[in-house]
């Protein structure tokens, strides 16, 4: 990583806003809680039509779908008279109420029947037991049944929209008789249930209590999955227009990053509106910042889904080989990660997250590092576990930042080549090479919003970044290397004139291996793209080192690098 003080500020068209606004009152995107206003509900016309067609024929319907796919918003949309009218359901002849089993874990069946009847007569929706009512009020099932059937006898249709049905199976008081009662009620032609659940109703089992069947046998299933491309674009552009932000040209980028999942599209839209201070279009710097902010905010939700996937599905998600395994593909479709035709993955953020999580779960690397000895590649079985540990640490760092991938390899190659050119012993050369791979390890403790920030760092942010050599050395304290590695990692940002960090060492106080590593790291970083600037040419980078040789950088190491580049003709090779 380049010294923050040497960072080239981004150009005006790349620079992101320097301040973040607090929660905006005009932010129309939803990422917490259900959508209540139909003006903010997008897509799902096919699914609404499918449910309405079944409902019209007195068929019970189970609406299923994974976490955050919008099941609650969907049920609430069904409960609106305008939705019913749009699909030919004659709302004047329907009594519809929404009930959620969330928060009902202590209710008895009789309390639930009383609550359901109260909600039905009020024709409202109840998201918690007895809001404003009397806890403990009870109604026997037979009375509840008679009252509901009496409504039907007057020529009306009764529909209960039951959300979070899985939680009903977790209530030990809701036994087989409770679900049998619901089944009996739904068997009447003027009564219907539309349920919302993550899994199939047949899966509503708890130990020996098989509560899902035969209750589930009454239901046809309509599954909510990813949106269509047109629906996703409509969501992005119409909500952006409500906020006054110029995002009408950004729908393709939103889909590329967040996929076709409505929650992640809404989340990215919310972050974007919070971030933008004006109606200007997104710059390259804006996109880089939002990519990091989005991945960070979405990670808890992605982690929940990831943990629920089978090892086979995780593997196929990472390798993108779902067509070779039908069961893995089906699992990814059900999790709303993959389109049914396998053509579109649910966003770039899923690919990055999956790769990082899979690498984190690997307990050991399968291959040793290759050690370059006189042009021959040999294996080091005696040091295999050390090399495996180094590989795992480097992969953990590279998984966080696209721009870091390959950087450690280049630095290690250049540093070992410089050390060899200076005539250092074989053990020192190997120590410098390993230090090159681990020199930025301490950045694991630096937040992504600082590490990948597209504009110039603030003073406090710069001081945070400057702790990474110390943090890296502290991490390596637990490893017993057969070579000198830790001093080079700790001191690779020291400068010959004492202006470096973390200890402000001067001249020969800086270990030789650290001076070698400093030259290799600066050259590699300057000739690579970063989120805040483009790569400089080899000649420019070499000119910078020569200009500051003796003041910042060890002149012998700088000249050794110059000879290495002249002899090899390129700095791109990696060991």
Determine the pLDDT at residue 211: 54
Q: Which residues contact 458 (CB under 8 A, 6 or more apart)?
A: none
Closest-CA residue to 28 (of 268, 248, 261, 270): 270
Asked whether the beta carbons of 543 and 433 are under 8 A apart, the reply is no
**Residue carrying the six token digits 């620079």:** 15
98 three-class SS: strand
Determine the pLDDT at residue 531: 56
Q: What is the pTM of this model?
A: 0.60
Residue 167: both structure tokens together = 């939680």
Q: Which residues contact 303 (CB under 8 A, 6 or more apart)?
A: 353, 357
Between CA 345 and CA 352 the distance in angstroms is 12
Determine the pLDDT at residue 388: 65
Angle (deg, nearest 10), helices 109-122 and 176-186: 30
φ/ψ of residue 515, rounded to 5: -65, -40
Query: Tens of pLDDT along 268-291?
Result: 999 888 887 667 778 888 888 888
**Residue carrying the six token digits 């580049």:** 565
Q: Which residues of the chain have pLDDT under 70?
A: 1-25, 123-136, 204-213, 246, 248, 277-278, 318-325, 341-346, 357-388, 391-392, 394-406, 445, 447-455, 529-533, 568-575
Asked whether the beta carbons of 574 and 413 are under 8 A apart, the reply is yes
Closest-CA residue to 333 (of 307, 350, 313): 313
β-strand partners of 533 = 530
* CA-CA-CA-CA torsion sign (84, 86, 88, 91): positive
CATH (one of 3.30.1490.20, 3.40.50.300, 1.10.3210.10, 2.40.50.140) for 388-568: 1.10.3210.10
φ/ψ of residue 565, rounded to 5: -65, -40
Between CA 108 and CA 279 the distance in angstroms is 54
- Domain 45-223 is in which class? alpha beta
Q: For residue 378, how far is the Cα from the chain centroid?
A: 39
Asked whether the beta carbons of 199 and 335 are under 8 A apart, the reply is no
Closest-CA residue to 96 (of 16, 166, 157): 157
Between CA 100 and CA 174 the distance in angstroms is 14
Domain residue ranges of the chain, discontinuous segments joined by +: 45-223, 388-568
* Tally of residues, the chain: 575
């Amino acid at each position: 990583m380049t010294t923050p003080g040497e960072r080239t500020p981004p150009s005006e068209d790349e620079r992101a806003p320097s301040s973040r606004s607090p929660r905006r009152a005009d932010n129309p995107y939803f990422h917490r809680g259900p959508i209540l206003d139909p003006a903010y509900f997008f897509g799902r016309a096919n699914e609404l039509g499918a449910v309405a067609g079944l409902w019209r024929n007195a068929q019970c319907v189970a609406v299923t779908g994974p976490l955050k796919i919008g099941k609650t918003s969907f049920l609430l949309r069904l409960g609106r008279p305008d939705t019913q009218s749009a699909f030919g359901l004659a709302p004047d002849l329907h009594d519809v109420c929404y009930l959620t089993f969330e928060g009902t874990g202590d209710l008895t069946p009789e309390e639930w029947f009383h609550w359901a009847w109260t909600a039905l007569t009020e024709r409202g929706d109840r998201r918690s037991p007895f809001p404003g009512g009397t806890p403990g009020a009870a109604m026997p099932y037979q009375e509840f049944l008679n009252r509901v059937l009496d409504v039907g006898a007057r020529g009306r249709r009764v529909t209960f929209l039951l959300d979070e049905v899985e939680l009903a199976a977790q209530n030990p008081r809701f036994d087989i008789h409770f679900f049998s009662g619901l089944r009996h009620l739904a068997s009447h032609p003027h009564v219907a249930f539309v349920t919302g659940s993550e899994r199939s109703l047949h899966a509503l089992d708890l130990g020996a209590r098989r509560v899902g069947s035969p209750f589930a046998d009454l239901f046809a299933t309509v599954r909510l999955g990813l949106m269509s491309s047109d629906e996703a674009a409509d969501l992005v552009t119409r909500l952006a227009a409500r906020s006054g932000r110029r995002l009408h040209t950004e729908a393709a980028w939103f889909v590329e990053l967040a996929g076709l999942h409505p929650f992640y599209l809404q989340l990215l839209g919310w972050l974007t509106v919070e971030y933008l201070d004006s109606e200007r279009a997104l710059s390259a710097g804006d996109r880089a910042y939002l990519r990091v902010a989005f991945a960070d905010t979405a990670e808890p939700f992605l982690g929940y889904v990831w943990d629920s996937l089978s090892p086979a599905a995780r593997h196929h998600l990472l390798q993108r080989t779902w067509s070779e395994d039908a069961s893995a593909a089906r699992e990814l479709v059900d999790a709303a990660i993959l389109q049914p035709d396998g053509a579109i993955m649910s966003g770039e953020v899923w690919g990055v997250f999956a790769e990082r999580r899979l690498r984190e779960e690997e307990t050991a690397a399968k291959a040793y590092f290759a050690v370059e000895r006189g042009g021959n590649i040999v294996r080091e079985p005696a040091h295999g576990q050390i090399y495996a540990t180094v590989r795992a640490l480097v992969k953990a760092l590279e998984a966080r930042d696209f721009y870091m991938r390959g950087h450690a390899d280049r630095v290690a190659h250049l540093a070992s080549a410089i050390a060899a050119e200076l005539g250092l012993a074989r053990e020192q050369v190997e120590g410098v090479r390993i230090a090159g791979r681990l020199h930025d390890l301490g950045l694991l403790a630096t937040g992504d919003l600082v590490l990948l920030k597209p504009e110039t760092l603030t003073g406090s942010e710069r001081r945070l970044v400057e702790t990474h050599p110390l943090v890296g050395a502290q991490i390596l304290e637990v490893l017993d290397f057969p070579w000198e590695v830790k001093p080079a990692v700790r001191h690779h940002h020291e400068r010959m004139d004492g202006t470096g960090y973390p200890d402000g060492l001067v001249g020969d106080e800086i270990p030789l291996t650290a001076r070698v590593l400093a030259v290799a790291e600066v050259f590699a970083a300057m000739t690579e793209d970063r989120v805040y600037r483009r790569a400089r040419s080899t000649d420019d980078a070499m000119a910078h080192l020569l200009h500051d040789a003796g003041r910042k950088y060890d002149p012998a190491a700088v000249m050794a690098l110059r000879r290495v580049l002249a002899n090899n003709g390129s700095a791109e090779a990696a060991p």
